[in-house]
Chain A
Amino acid sequence: MRASETLRRLIGPIELLHEQAGPRLLRFTRIGIFALWTLKLLLDPLWRLSEMPREMWRPVGVLAFIPAGYTDQFLSANGLAALWSCTLIILALCLTNQAFPFFATGAAFLLTVYSSLIRSFGPAVHTDIVLLLSVYALAAYAWSDWIAAKLSGKKSAPPSWSSYPLITIVCFLCISYCLVGLNRTIAGGINVFTGDTMEAWAVDASLRGYYFNTNIGWHVPEWPGITLMLRGGLPVITLFEILAPLCLAWPRFRWVFIPVMLSFHALSLVFMNIFFFDDMLVYLLLVDWSRRFPSLRAK
Protein backbone atom coordinates (compact mmCIF):
# COMPACT_ATOMS: atom_id res chain seq x y z
CA MET A 1 0.00 0.00 0.00
CA ARG A 2 2.79 2.34 0.99
CA ALA A 3 4.83 1.33 -2.06
CA SER A 4 1.97 2.09 -4.43
CA GLU A 5 1.41 5.42 -2.69
CA THR A 6 5.10 6.33 -3.14
CA LEU A 7 4.99 5.20 -6.75
CA ARG A 8 1.89 7.32 -7.39
CA ARG A 9 3.60 10.32 -5.84
CA LEU A 10 6.68 9.74 -8.00
CA ILE A 11 4.65 9.44 -11.19
CA GLY A 12 2.69 12.56 -10.40
CA PRO A 13 -0.34 13.73 -12.35
CA ILE A 14 -1.33 12.21 -15.67
CA GLU A 15 -3.14 14.79 -17.78
CA LEU A 16 -3.50 15.65 -21.45
CA LEU A 17 -1.12 18.38 -22.56
CA HIS A 18 -2.83 21.58 -23.78
CA GLU A 19 -6.28 20.23 -22.93
CA GLN A 20 -7.19 23.66 -21.50
CA ALA A 21 -5.46 25.76 -24.19
CA GLY A 22 -7.29 28.82 -25.43
CA PRO A 23 -7.20 31.11 -28.48
CA ARG A 24 -4.32 33.25 -27.18
CA LEU A 25 -1.97 30.30 -26.95
CA LEU A 26 -3.03 29.22 -30.43
CA ARG A 27 -2.35 32.72 -31.70
CA PHE A 28 1.15 32.71 -30.15
CA THR A 29 1.80 29.32 -31.73
CA ARG A 30 0.73 30.57 -35.15
CA ILE A 31 2.99 33.59 -34.82
CA GLY A 32 5.90 31.44 -33.65
CA ILE A 33 5.60 28.91 -36.46
CA PHE A 34 5.09 31.42 -39.27
CA ALA A 35 7.81 33.71 -37.87
CA LEU A 36 10.27 30.81 -37.81
CA TRP A 37 9.46 29.96 -41.43
CA THR A 38 9.88 33.63 -42.34
CA LEU A 39 13.28 33.73 -40.64
CA LYS A 40 14.36 30.53 -42.37
CA LEU A 41 13.46 31.98 -45.75
CA LEU A 42 15.09 35.33 -45.04
CA LEU A 43 18.37 33.51 -44.33
CA ASP A 44 18.11 31.36 -47.45
CA PRO A 45 19.55 32.53 -50.81
CA LEU A 46 17.25 30.14 -52.65
CA TRP A 47 18.06 31.56 -56.12
CA ARG A 48 21.61 30.16 -55.83
CA LEU A 49 20.15 26.71 -56.48
CA SER A 50 19.94 27.70 -60.15
CA GLU A 51 23.72 27.03 -60.24
CA MET A 52 23.36 23.44 -59.01
CA PRO A 53 24.07 20.80 -61.67
CA ARG A 54 20.85 19.55 -63.24
CA GLU A 55 22.29 16.03 -63.14
CA MET A 56 21.67 16.08 -59.38
CA TRP A 57 18.00 17.06 -59.72
CA ARG A 58 15.77 14.26 -58.44
CA PRO A 59 12.38 15.86 -57.72
CA VAL A 60 10.77 15.15 -54.37
CA GLY A 61 7.01 15.00 -53.72
CA VAL A 62 4.86 17.50 -55.60
CA LEU A 63 7.81 18.62 -57.75
CA ALA A 64 7.53 15.36 -59.68
CA PHE A 65 4.41 16.89 -61.26
CA ILE A 66 6.37 19.70 -62.93
CA PRO A 67 6.47 18.89 -66.66
CA ALA A 68 10.03 18.24 -67.88
CA GLY A 69 9.86 21.25 -70.20
CA TYR A 70 9.24 23.64 -67.29
CA THR A 71 11.95 22.39 -64.96
CA ASP A 72 14.59 24.77 -66.35
CA GLN A 73 12.25 27.76 -65.93
CA PHE A 74 11.38 26.70 -62.41
CA LEU A 75 15.05 26.23 -61.50
CA SER A 76 16.18 29.51 -63.07
CA ALA A 77 17.36 32.27 -60.74
CA ASN A 78 14.22 34.27 -61.57
CA GLY A 79 11.90 31.30 -61.00
CA LEU A 80 13.47 30.55 -57.63
CA ALA A 81 13.48 34.21 -56.60
CA ALA A 82 9.77 34.37 -57.49
CA LEU A 83 9.03 31.32 -55.33
CA TRP A 84 11.05 32.82 -52.48
CA SER A 85 9.27 36.20 -52.71
CA CYS A 86 5.76 34.73 -52.99
CA THR A 87 6.39 32.46 -50.01
CA LEU A 88 7.70 35.33 -47.91
CA ILE A 89 4.70 37.51 -48.80
CA ILE A 90 2.20 34.83 -47.90
CA LEU A 91 4.03 34.07 -44.65
CA ALA A 92 3.82 37.76 -43.77
CA LEU A 93 0.09 37.68 -44.52
CA CYS A 94 -0.31 34.67 -42.23
CA LEU A 95 1.28 36.68 -39.43
CA THR A 96 -1.46 39.31 -39.77
CA ASN A 97 -4.11 36.69 -38.82
CA GLN A 98 -6.48 38.14 -41.45
CA ALA A 99 -8.30 35.59 -43.68
CA PHE A 100 -6.08 33.04 -41.96
CA PRO A 101 -7.54 29.86 -43.54
CA PHE A 102 -6.87 31.18 -47.08
CA PHE A 103 -3.35 32.43 -46.46
CA ALA A 104 -2.37 29.46 -44.30
CA THR A 105 -3.48 27.11 -47.07
CA GLY A 106 -1.41 29.07 -49.57
CA ALA A 107 1.53 28.99 -47.18
CA ALA A 108 1.13 25.23 -46.72
CA PHE A 109 1.28 24.75 -50.48
CA LEU A 110 4.24 27.08 -51.10
CA LEU A 111 6.19 25.70 -48.15
CA THR A 112 5.60 22.18 -49.46
CA VAL A 113 7.07 23.26 -52.81
CA TYR A 114 9.97 24.99 -51.03
CA SER A 115 10.68 22.03 -48.73
CA SER A 116 10.50 19.60 -51.65
CA LEU A 117 12.83 21.80 -53.71
CA ILE A 118 15.59 21.97 -51.11
CA ARG A 119 15.55 18.17 -50.86
CA SER A 120 15.56 17.56 -54.60
CA PHE A 121 19.36 17.71 -54.87
CA GLY A 122 19.97 15.09 -52.19
CA PRO A 123 18.26 12.86 -49.64
CA ALA A 124 14.85 13.84 -48.25
CA VAL A 125 16.12 14.62 -44.75
CA HIS A 126 13.81 15.16 -41.78
CA THR A 127 14.71 18.65 -40.69
CA ASP A 128 11.68 21.01 -40.65
CA ILE A 129 9.14 18.29 -41.62
CA VAL A 130 7.39 18.60 -38.24
CA LEU A 131 7.31 22.35 -38.78
CA LEU A 132 5.77 21.88 -42.23
CA LEU A 133 3.18 19.45 -40.87
CA SER A 134 2.43 22.05 -38.18
CA VAL A 135 1.50 24.52 -40.93
CA TYR A 136 -0.79 21.85 -42.41
CA ALA A 137 -2.43 21.44 -39.00
CA LEU A 138 -2.89 25.18 -38.50
CA ALA A 139 -4.41 25.58 -41.96
CA ALA A 140 -6.63 22.49 -41.83
CA TYR A 141 -8.00 23.25 -38.36
CA ALA A 142 -8.65 26.87 -39.34
CA TRP A 143 -10.90 25.58 -42.13
CA SER A 144 -12.43 23.00 -39.79
CA ASP A 145 -13.27 25.74 -37.27
CA TRP A 146 -14.97 27.74 -40.00
CA ILE A 147 -16.92 24.77 -41.40
CA ALA A 148 -17.95 23.39 -38.00
CA ALA A 149 -18.99 26.85 -36.77
CA LYS A 150 -21.12 27.36 -39.90
CA LEU A 151 -22.70 23.92 -39.57
CA SER A 152 -23.59 24.47 -35.93
CA GLY A 153 -24.83 28.01 -36.50
CA LYS A 154 -22.15 29.60 -34.29
CA LYS A 155 -20.63 32.97 -35.10
CA SER A 156 -17.10 31.83 -34.35
CA ALA A 157 -15.23 28.79 -33.13
CA PRO A 158 -15.56 28.13 -29.36
CA PRO A 159 -12.31 28.78 -27.43
CA SER A 160 -12.00 25.12 -26.45
CA TRP A 161 -11.32 24.22 -30.09
CA SER A 162 -7.94 25.96 -29.83
CA SER A 163 -6.43 22.86 -28.26
CA TYR A 164 -6.94 20.76 -31.42
CA PRO A 165 -4.07 22.11 -33.55
CA LEU A 166 -1.77 22.39 -30.54
CA ILE A 167 -2.21 18.79 -29.47
CA THR A 168 -1.91 17.65 -33.10
CA ILE A 169 1.42 19.48 -33.47
CA VAL A 170 2.76 17.86 -30.30
CA CYS A 171 1.53 14.51 -31.69
CA PHE A 172 3.60 15.14 -34.86
CA LEU A 173 6.70 15.77 -32.79
CA CYS A 174 6.18 12.76 -30.54
CA ILE A 175 5.23 10.38 -33.34
CA SER A 176 8.23 11.45 -35.43
CA TYR A 177 10.57 10.59 -32.56
CA CYS A 178 8.71 7.39 -31.82
CA LEU A 179 8.88 6.18 -35.43
CA VAL A 180 12.59 6.98 -35.64
CA GLY A 181 13.24 5.04 -32.44
CA LEU A 182 11.08 2.06 -33.45
CA ASN A 183 12.70 1.96 -36.89
CA ARG A 184 16.20 1.98 -35.45
CA THR A 185 15.40 -0.71 -32.90
CA ILE A 186 13.43 -3.06 -35.12
CA ALA A 187 15.02 -2.53 -38.55
CA GLY A 188 18.55 -2.07 -37.25
CA GLY A 189 18.36 -4.70 -34.54
CA ILE A 190 20.52 -5.03 -31.47
CA ASN A 191 23.75 -4.65 -33.46
CA VAL A 192 23.05 -0.95 -33.99
CA PHE A 193 23.71 -0.47 -30.28
CA THR A 194 26.80 -2.63 -30.10
CA GLY A 195 30.09 -2.55 -31.96
CA ASP A 196 31.50 0.49 -33.69
CA THR A 197 28.35 1.77 -35.36
CA MET A 198 28.01 4.93 -33.28
CA GLU A 199 31.68 5.95 -33.72
CA ALA A 200 31.47 5.22 -37.45
CA TRP A 201 28.42 7.51 -37.77
CA ALA A 202 30.08 10.27 -35.78
CA VAL A 203 33.32 10.11 -37.80
CA ASP A 204 31.42 9.85 -41.09
CA ALA A 205 29.18 12.84 -40.37
CA SER A 206 32.09 14.87 -39.03
CA LEU A 207 34.32 14.19 -42.03
CA ARG A 208 31.54 15.07 -44.46
CA GLY A 209 30.65 18.35 -42.83
CA TYR A 210 27.33 20.02 -43.49
CA TYR A 211 26.23 23.63 -43.03
CA PHE A 212 27.53 23.42 -39.48
CA ASN A 213 31.06 22.10 -39.43
CA THR A 214 32.53 21.73 -35.96
CA ASN A 215 35.31 19.42 -37.20
CA ILE A 216 35.31 17.59 -33.86
CA GLY A 217 33.56 14.27 -34.42
CA TRP A 218 36.36 12.56 -36.31
CA HIS A 219 38.47 12.76 -33.12
CA VAL A 220 35.94 10.54 -31.28
CA PRO A 221 37.98 7.30 -31.60
CA GLU A 222 40.83 9.10 -29.80
CA TRP A 223 38.69 9.80 -26.75
CA PRO A 224 37.56 6.61 -24.96
CA GLY A 225 35.33 8.55 -22.55
CA ILE A 226 33.43 10.23 -25.36
CA THR A 227 33.20 6.94 -27.25
CA LEU A 228 31.69 5.33 -24.16
CA MET A 229 29.25 8.22 -23.76
CA LEU A 230 28.12 8.01 -27.39
CA ARG A 231 27.77 4.23 -27.29
CA GLY A 232 25.88 4.32 -24.01
CA GLY A 233 23.83 7.30 -25.07
CA LEU A 234 22.43 5.76 -28.25
CA PRO A 235 20.17 3.14 -26.55
CA VAL A 236 19.11 5.71 -23.95
CA ILE A 237 18.16 8.26 -26.62
CA THR A 238 16.41 5.57 -28.67
CA LEU A 239 14.39 4.62 -25.58
CA PHE A 240 13.41 8.25 -25.05
CA GLU A 241 12.45 8.53 -28.73
CA ILE A 242 10.19 5.47 -28.48
CA LEU A 243 8.63 6.78 -25.27
CA ALA A 244 8.12 10.30 -26.69
CA PRO A 245 4.29 9.90 -26.93
CA LEU A 246 4.25 9.89 -23.13
CA CYS A 247 4.94 13.63 -23.38
CA LEU A 248 1.29 14.04 -24.28
CA ALA A 249 0.16 12.68 -20.95
CA TRP A 250 2.85 12.72 -18.33
CA PRO A 251 4.19 16.11 -17.14
CA ARG A 252 7.04 14.63 -15.08
CA PHE A 253 8.26 12.62 -18.06
CA ARG A 254 8.34 15.83 -20.11
CA TRP A 255 10.66 17.44 -17.56
CA VAL A 256 13.12 14.59 -18.10
CA PHE A 257 12.50 14.29 -21.83
CA ILE A 258 13.16 17.96 -22.65
CA PRO A 259 16.67 18.28 -21.12
CA VAL A 260 17.70 14.80 -22.30
CA MET A 261 16.66 15.46 -25.89
CA LEU A 262 18.02 19.00 -25.95
CA SER A 263 21.39 17.64 -24.74
CA PHE A 264 21.20 14.98 -27.41
CA HIS A 265 20.56 17.58 -30.14
CA ALA A 266 23.42 19.76 -28.83
CA LEU A 267 25.81 16.78 -28.84
CA SER A 268 24.65 15.83 -32.35
CA LEU A 269 25.71 19.29 -33.42
CA VAL A 270 29.09 19.07 -31.72
CA PHE A 271 30.06 15.58 -32.84
CA MET A 272 28.03 15.04 -36.02
CA ASN A 273 27.39 18.54 -37.41
CA ILE A 274 23.65 17.75 -37.36
CA PHE A 275 21.19 20.14 -35.76
CA PHE A 276 17.39 20.17 -35.95
CA PHE A 277 16.97 23.76 -34.90
CA ASP A 278 13.45 23.83 -36.37
CA ASP A 279 12.23 21.35 -33.78
CA MET A 280 13.51 23.51 -30.94
CA LEU A 281 10.58 25.91 -31.30
CA VAL A 282 8.14 23.01 -31.29
CA TYR A 283 9.72 21.97 -27.97
CA LEU A 284 8.13 25.10 -26.49
CA LEU A 285 4.82 23.35 -27.02
CA LEU A 286 5.94 20.59 -24.64
CA VAL A 287 5.27 23.06 -21.83
CA ASP A 288 1.65 23.18 -20.72
CA TRP A 289 1.47 26.99 -20.77
CA SER A 290 -2.27 27.18 -20.27
CA ARG A 291 -2.08 25.34 -16.92
CA ARG A 292 0.52 27.87 -15.74
CA PHE A 293 -1.01 31.03 -17.13
CA PRO A 294 -4.81 31.36 -16.78
CA SER A 295 -4.89 34.02 -19.51
CA LEU A 296 -3.90 31.34 -22.03
CA ARG A 297 -6.79 29.03 -21.08
CA ALA A 298 -10.04 28.58 -22.96
CA LYS A 299 -12.56 30.54 -20.93
Chain B
Amino acid sequence: MAQHAPSRFPTAIAGAIIVACVAAIVWMISYAVPLKLAGQAYMMIAILLAFRYWPPMFRWVAAMPAVHRLVFALLIGGMICGHYTLNGRTYFPFVVWEIFPFVHEVDPVTCREFIATTESGAKVRLLTEQLFPSIVQVDPLDALDNPGAYPPGTTESLARALAKVYNELHPRDPVRQIDLFNMAVKLHPPSGESRQPSCELLKHYDVSSDQ
Protein backbone atom coordinates (compact mmCIF):
# COMPACT_ATOMS: atom_id res chain seq x y z
CA MET B 1 0.00 0.00 0.00
CA ALA B 2 1.26 3.37 -0.93
CA GLN B 3 1.97 5.60 1.96
CA HIS B 4 0.20 8.95 1.85
CA ALA B 5 1.78 12.01 3.39
CA PRO B 6 -0.30 13.09 6.39
CA SER B 7 -2.67 15.77 5.10
CA ARG B 8 -2.39 19.07 6.96
CA PHE B 9 -5.53 20.98 7.74
CA PRO B 10 -5.15 24.28 5.85
CA THR B 11 -4.23 27.07 8.22
CA ALA B 12 -6.53 29.52 6.47
CA ILE B 13 -9.54 27.26 7.09
CA ALA B 14 -8.54 26.80 10.72
CA GLY B 15 -8.28 30.57 11.12
CA ALA B 16 -11.65 31.10 9.47
CA ILE B 17 -13.28 28.55 11.80
CA ILE B 18 -11.76 30.25 14.86
CA VAL B 19 -12.93 33.69 13.68
CA ALA B 20 -16.42 32.30 12.98
CA CYS B 21 -16.55 30.69 16.45
CA VAL B 22 -15.45 33.91 18.16
CA ALA B 23 -18.00 35.89 16.13
CA ALA B 24 -20.72 33.42 17.11
CA ILE B 25 -19.79 33.70 20.79
CA VAL B 26 -19.78 37.51 20.57
CA TRP B 27 -23.16 37.40 18.86
CA MET B 28 -24.63 35.01 21.45
CA ILE B 29 -23.30 36.84 24.49
CA SER B 30 -24.38 40.16 23.05
CA TYR B 31 -27.99 39.14 23.74
CA ALA B 32 -27.21 39.22 27.45
CA VAL B 33 -24.86 42.21 27.44
CA PRO B 34 -25.54 45.11 25.05
CA LEU B 35 -23.15 45.00 22.12
CA LYS B 36 -21.92 48.51 22.83
CA LEU B 37 -20.54 47.19 26.13
CA ALA B 38 -19.69 43.65 25.08
CA GLY B 39 -17.98 44.77 21.87
CA GLN B 40 -15.76 47.22 23.72
CA ALA B 41 -14.98 44.61 26.35
CA TYR B 42 -13.90 42.05 23.73
CA MET B 43 -11.70 44.57 21.99
CA MET B 44 -10.10 45.64 25.27
CA ILE B 45 -9.55 42.01 26.30
CA ALA B 46 -7.84 41.35 22.96
CA ILE B 47 -5.53 44.34 23.51
CA LEU B 48 -4.74 43.35 27.11
CA LEU B 49 -4.04 39.75 26.05
CA ALA B 50 -1.72 40.96 23.30
CA PHE B 51 0.31 42.86 25.89
CA ARG B 52 0.04 40.01 28.39
CA TYR B 53 1.86 37.67 26.00
CA TRP B 54 4.29 40.25 24.62
CA PRO B 55 7.62 39.13 26.11
CA PRO B 56 9.00 42.57 27.19
CA MET B 57 5.73 43.43 28.98
CA PHE B 58 5.54 39.98 30.53
CA ARG B 59 9.15 40.29 31.69
CA TRP B 60 8.49 43.78 33.11
CA VAL B 61 5.40 42.69 35.06
CA ALA B 62 7.07 39.48 36.24
CA ALA B 63 10.03 41.46 37.61
CA MET B 64 7.74 43.65 39.73
CA PRO B 65 7.51 43.02 43.46
CA ALA B 66 4.05 41.81 44.47
CA VAL B 67 3.05 45.17 45.98
CA HIS B 68 3.86 47.03 42.76
CA ARG B 69 2.02 44.44 40.72
CA LEU B 70 -1.02 44.94 42.91
CA VAL B 71 -0.86 48.73 42.46
CA PHE B 72 -0.51 48.33 38.70
CA ALA B 73 -3.48 45.96 38.55
CA LEU B 74 -5.67 48.16 40.77
CA LEU B 75 -4.96 51.39 38.88
CA ILE B 76 -5.31 50.00 35.37
CA GLY B 77 -8.18 47.72 36.44
CA GLY B 78 -9.95 50.65 38.11
CA MET B 79 -9.64 52.74 34.98
CA ILE B 80 -11.01 50.00 32.73
CA CYS B 81 -13.78 48.94 35.14
CA GLY B 82 -14.79 52.59 35.62
CA HIS B 83 -15.39 52.80 31.89
CA TYR B 84 -17.73 49.83 31.93
CA THR B 85 -19.87 51.24 34.74
CA LEU B 86 -21.20 53.67 32.08
CA ASN B 87 -21.30 56.18 34.92
CA GLY B 88 -19.37 59.39 34.48
CA ARG B 89 -19.90 60.86 37.95
CA THR B 90 -20.21 58.38 40.82
CA TYR B 91 -16.80 56.72 40.61
CA PHE B 92 -14.82 59.76 39.49
CA PRO B 93 -11.93 59.72 38.43
CA PHE B 94 -12.69 56.19 37.22
CA VAL B 95 -15.12 57.42 34.60
CA VAL B 96 -16.66 56.27 31.36
CA TRP B 97 -14.46 57.45 28.51
CA GLU B 98 -16.77 58.89 25.90
CA ILE B 99 -16.08 61.85 23.68
CA PHE B 100 -18.61 62.33 20.88
CA PRO B 101 -19.73 58.68 20.98
CA PHE B 102 -23.06 59.15 19.21
CA VAL B 103 -24.56 60.30 15.93
CA HIS B 104 -25.43 63.98 16.12
CA GLU B 105 -27.27 64.96 12.98
CA VAL B 106 -29.30 68.09 13.55
CA ASP B 107 -29.94 70.88 11.10
CA PRO B 108 -30.00 73.68 12.07
CA VAL B 109 -27.60 73.44 15.02
CA THR B 110 -28.94 75.60 17.84
CA CYS B 111 -27.42 77.07 20.95
CA ARG B 112 -28.58 79.45 23.66
CA GLU B 113 -26.38 82.25 24.88
CA PHE B 114 -26.48 85.18 27.27
CA ILE B 115 -25.78 88.58 25.75
CA ALA B 116 -25.44 91.33 28.35
CA THR B 117 -25.85 95.07 27.89
CA THR B 118 -23.58 97.15 30.08
CA GLU B 119 -24.17 100.61 31.51
CA SER B 120 -22.30 102.17 28.58
CA GLY B 121 -24.49 100.27 26.13
CA ALA B 122 -21.81 97.78 25.10
CA LYS B 123 -22.90 94.23 24.31
CA VAL B 124 -20.88 91.42 25.88
CA ARG B 125 -21.35 87.69 25.79
CA LEU B 126 -21.41 86.08 29.24
CA LEU B 127 -19.79 82.65 29.18
CA THR B 128 -19.84 80.60 32.37
CA GLU B 129 -16.52 78.92 31.55
CA GLN B 130 -14.79 82.30 31.18
CA LEU B 131 -16.24 83.99 34.25
CA PHE B 132 -15.80 80.83 36.34
CA PRO B 133 -12.58 79.43 34.83
CA SER B 134 -12.50 76.61 37.38
CA ILE B 135 -15.40 75.02 35.52
CA VAL B 136 -14.30 73.23 32.39
CA GLN B 137 -17.80 72.93 30.99
CA VAL B 138 -21.39 73.48 32.09
CA ASP B 139 -24.44 71.89 30.52
CA PRO B 140 -25.86 73.78 27.53
CA LEU B 141 -28.25 76.54 28.60
CA ASP B 142 -31.29 74.78 27.13
CA ALA B 143 -30.58 71.82 29.44
CA LEU B 144 -31.09 74.12 32.44
CA ASP B 145 -34.76 74.38 31.46
CA ASN B 146 -35.15 70.61 31.63
CA PRO B 147 -37.28 70.09 34.77
CA GLY B 148 -35.95 66.55 35.17
CA ALA B 149 -32.38 67.82 35.55
CA TYR B 150 -32.62 71.27 37.14
CA PRO B 151 -35.22 73.11 39.26
CA PRO B 152 -37.23 75.90 37.62
CA GLY B 153 -35.48 79.26 37.49
CA THR B 154 -31.95 77.85 37.17
CA THR B 155 -31.30 79.76 33.93
CA GLU B 156 -32.19 83.05 35.60
CA SER B 157 -30.08 82.23 38.68
CA LEU B 158 -27.12 81.53 36.40
CA ALA B 159 -27.69 84.78 34.47
CA ARG B 160 -27.65 86.76 37.72
CA ALA B 161 -24.55 84.92 38.99
CA LEU B 162 -22.72 85.69 35.75
CA ALA B 163 -23.74 89.35 35.96
CA LYS B 164 -22.51 89.56 39.55
CA VAL B 165 -19.09 88.13 38.75
CA TYR B 166 -18.81 90.23 35.59
CA ASN B 167 -19.60 93.38 37.59
CA GLU B 168 -16.96 92.50 40.19
CA LEU B 169 -14.41 92.26 37.41
CA HIS B 170 -15.67 95.36 35.54
CA PRO B 171 -16.95 97.75 38.23
CA ARG B 172 -16.72 100.78 35.90
CA ASP B 173 -19.08 99.39 33.30
CA PRO B 174 -21.45 96.96 34.98
CA VAL B 175 -24.10 94.85 33.33
CA ARG B 176 -27.64 96.26 33.41
CA GLN B 177 -29.61 93.66 31.50
CA ILE B 178 -29.13 90.21 30.07
CA ASP B 179 -30.86 88.74 27.04
CA LEU B 180 -31.16 85.04 26.43
CA PHE B 181 -30.90 84.33 22.72
CA ASN B 182 -31.31 81.18 20.69
CA MET B 183 -28.68 81.06 17.94
CA ALA B 184 -29.13 78.75 14.96
CA VAL B 185 -26.73 77.81 12.17
CA LYS B 186 -28.00 75.90 9.15
CA LEU B 187 -25.61 73.22 7.95
CA HIS B 188 -27.19 73.17 4.50
CA PRO B 189 -28.86 76.52 3.86
CA PRO B 190 -30.77 76.98 0.62
CA SER B 191 -28.65 78.66 -2.02
CA GLY B 192 -28.66 82.42 -1.69
CA GLU B 193 -29.64 82.33 1.99
CA SER B 194 -27.30 83.99 4.50
CA ARG B 195 -24.98 81.68 6.42
CA GLN B 196 -24.90 83.99 9.42
CA PRO B 197 -26.42 82.49 12.58
CA SER B 198 -30.04 83.45 13.09
CA CYS B 199 -30.79 84.99 16.45
CA GLU B 200 -34.06 84.76 18.40
CA LEU B 201 -34.67 86.56 21.68
CA LEU B 202 -36.10 84.16 24.24
CA LYS B 203 -35.97 86.04 27.55
CA HIS B 204 -34.87 89.27 29.07
CA TYR B 205 -33.48 89.64 32.61
CA ASP B 206 -33.18 93.04 34.28
CA VAL B 207 -30.19 92.84 36.63
CA SER B 208 -29.83 96.57 37.37
CA SER B 209 -31.41 96.09 40.81
CA ASP B 210 -28.79 93.44 41.70
CA GLN B 211 -26.04 96.08 42.09
A interface vs B, CB < 8 Å?
Answer: 14-16, 19, 43-46, 48-49, 51-53, 55-56, 58, 60-62, 64, 112, 115-119, 121-127, 129, 132-133, 136-137, 140-141, 144-145, 147-148, 151-152, 160-161, 163-164, 167-168, 171-172, 175-176, 178-180, 182-184, 186-189, 191-192, 195-197, 199-201, 203-204, 207-211, 213, 218-219, 221-222, 242, 245, 248-249
A-facing residues in B139-167 (Cβ within 8 Å):
139-140, 144, 150-151, 153-154, 157-158, 161, 164-165
Please name 17 pairs of A and B residues whose Cβ atoms are closer than 8 Å in the assembled complex, sorted by A.
A48-B165, A55-B153, A61-B92, A123-B137, A133-B93, A140-B74, A144-B67, A164-B71, A168-B75, A172-B75, A179-B44, A196-B187, A199-B187, A211-B127, A213-B127, A242-B43, A245-B47
Inter-chain contacts of B88 with A (CB < 8 A): 123-124
Q: State in angstroms the CA–CA spacing of A125 and B90 once bound together.
A: 13
Q: State in angstroms the CA–CA spacing of A186 and B30 once bound together.
A: 12
Q: State in angstroms the CA–CA spacing of A238 and B107 once bound together.
A: 24
Inter-chain contacts of B57 with A (CB < 8 A): 16, 248-249
Query: Main SS of chain A's interface residues?
Result: helix
Q: How many contacts A-B (CB < 8 Å)?
A: 254
Binds A, one of B3-11, B16-24, B95-103, B116-124: B95-103
Inter-chain contacts of A45 with B (CB < 8 A): 133-134
Closest B residue by C-beta to A148: B65
**Shortest Cβ distance from residue B61 to the other chain A in the assembled complex, whole angstroms:** 10
Knowing A132-B93, A144-B71, A207-B197, the reply to whether A180 touches B99 (Cβ < 8 A) is yes
Asked if residues A129 and B93 are in contact (CB atoms below 8 Å), the reply is: yes
Asked if residues A164 and B134 are in contact (CB atoms below 8 Å), the reply is: no
Asked if residues A147 and B185 are in contact (CB atoms below 8 Å), the reply is: no
Q: State in angstroms the CA–CA spacing of A15 and B83 once bound together.
A: 28
B85 at the interface (CB under 8 A from A): no
Interface string of B180-203 (1 = CB under 8 A from A): 000101111100000101000000
Inter-chain contacts of A248 with B (CB < 8 A): 51, 57
B interface vs A, CB < 8 Å?
Answer: 35-36, 39-40, 43-44, 47, 51, 54, 56-57, 60, 63-68, 70-72, 74-76, 79-80, 83, 88-93, 95-107, 109-111, 113, 125, 127, 129-140, 144, 150-151, 153-154, 157-158, 161, 164-165, 183, 185-189, 195, 197
